[in-house]
Amino acid sequence: MSSQSMNPLAKHFRQPAIHLTLPSKGQYWGQGSLDLNMSGQLEIYPMTTKDEITIRTPDALLNGTSIVSLFQSCCPQIKDAWKTPNVDVDAILIGIRIATYGQNMDINTICPNSECKNENKHELDLTVLLDGLACPNYNRTVDIDNLKIKLKPLTYFENNKSKMLTFEQDRALSVIGDDSISDDKKIEAFNQHLANMVDINNGLITAGTEYIETSDGTQVSDSMFIAEFYNNCDTKIVKAIKERFEEFAKTTELPKPRISCEECNTEYPVEVGFDYANFFVNAS
């Protein structure tokens, strides 16, 4: 018999607070990484004290483990949070915050009216953000040079890995400002930085490619073949793919609710910053 079934307090353990329909509708998750309920929704539980501490730990935020831990604690149907498609990450985070603290979030903004500049305090309804989240149409291929390139969303693991590598590269590039290092060493470091950034960018578009179909109908999905292709193809193909990813990014942007200044009634949009730690710190 489990300790939970024996514990007389078990019936007071946290319960699902909301049921979320994911922007992806459960698509693009790796096999075995997600188990939605019969209605196709994700059950979200409030955070525990451990979750609150974890989400505010800088090192865990930097390497992504805090988000993975949070998702798997508050969403037991998520079996492998590293495989969360990027299109679902913001929705799940907002859902967890609503489940824990309620749907309203206090925000402070400055009126953009140059003659006012009043500091406004408002309550933002987070369900408005959830309702405005959308998933791009990944079924629309990039058709170029007799190829059909089918894209897909990056997973949280792939995106976080890219951010970590970029962070490390930017830190390594700081050597250029070190007066104790020779100019030759600085040039060498800069060239290495550029080469590494090319590798990171190509790694991202490779990870975001489901398959490439040739004119004879052959579909290539092997990541090694795809990476080799991107390293050797015409630059216009990579540019076309990057443009499509930029379109996807616009589709998945958080909506910007409009509010009115309490002083002069000027109406303006509010951009909700998604610094994960602050997003939850401001709730307490």
For the chain, the maximum distance between any two Cα atoms, rounded to a whole number of angstroms, is 70
Nearest to 96 by CA among 63, 47, 129: 47
Mean of per-residue pLDDT scores for the chain = 88
As a whole number of Å, the end-to-end CA separation of the chain is: 37
pLDDT tens figures, 58-115: 777 778 889 999 999 999 999 999 999 999 999 999 999 999 999 998 888 999 999 9
Sorted by sequence, the CB contacts under 8 Å of residue 142 that are 6+ apart come out as 148, 149, 151, 240, 241, 244
Cα distance between residue 25 and residue 2, in whole Å: 33
Q: What is the mean pLDDT of residues 165-179?
A: 70
CA 241 centroid distance within chain: 19
Q: What is the mean pLDDT of residues 182-200?
A: 78
Report whether 46 contacts 103 (CB < 8 A).
no
Please report which confidence band the pLDDT of residue 281 belongs to, taking 50, 70 and 90 as the band edges. Answer: low
Q: Tokens 């007066």 — which residue?
A: 179
pLDDT tens figures, 13-58: 999 999 999 999 999 998 999 999 889 999 999 999 999 888 888 7
pLDDT tens figures, 235-277: 999 999 999 999 999 999 888 888 999 999 999 998 876 666 5
Please report which confidence band the pLDDT of residue 204 belongs to, taking 50, 70 and 90 as the band edges. Answer: very high
Q: What is the SS3 assignment for 75?
A: coil
Sorted by sequence, the CB contacts under 8 Å of residue 11 that are 6+ apart come out as none
pTM of the model: 0.85
Domain layout of the chain by residue ranges: 3-135+256-281, 142-251
Report whether 49 contacts 123 (CB < 8 A).
no
Cα distance between residue 254 and residue 90, in whole Å: 8
Q: What is the SS3 assignment for 76?
A: coil
The region of weakest confidence among 180-189, 230-239, 271-280 is 271-280
More confident residue, 95 or 183: 95
What is the pLDDT at residue 195?
A: 78
Q: Partners of 260 in the beta sheet?
A: 267
Q: Tokens 């969360």 — which residue?
A: 84
Residue 282 has pLDDT above 60, yes or no: no
Cα distance between residue 260 and residue 121, in whole Å: 10
- Residue type for position 265: N
Sorted by sequence, the CB contacts under 8 Å of residue 64 that are 6+ apart come out as 82, 156, 157, 160, 164
pLDDT tens figures, 60-70: 777 888 999 99
What is the pLDDT at residue 56?
A: 81
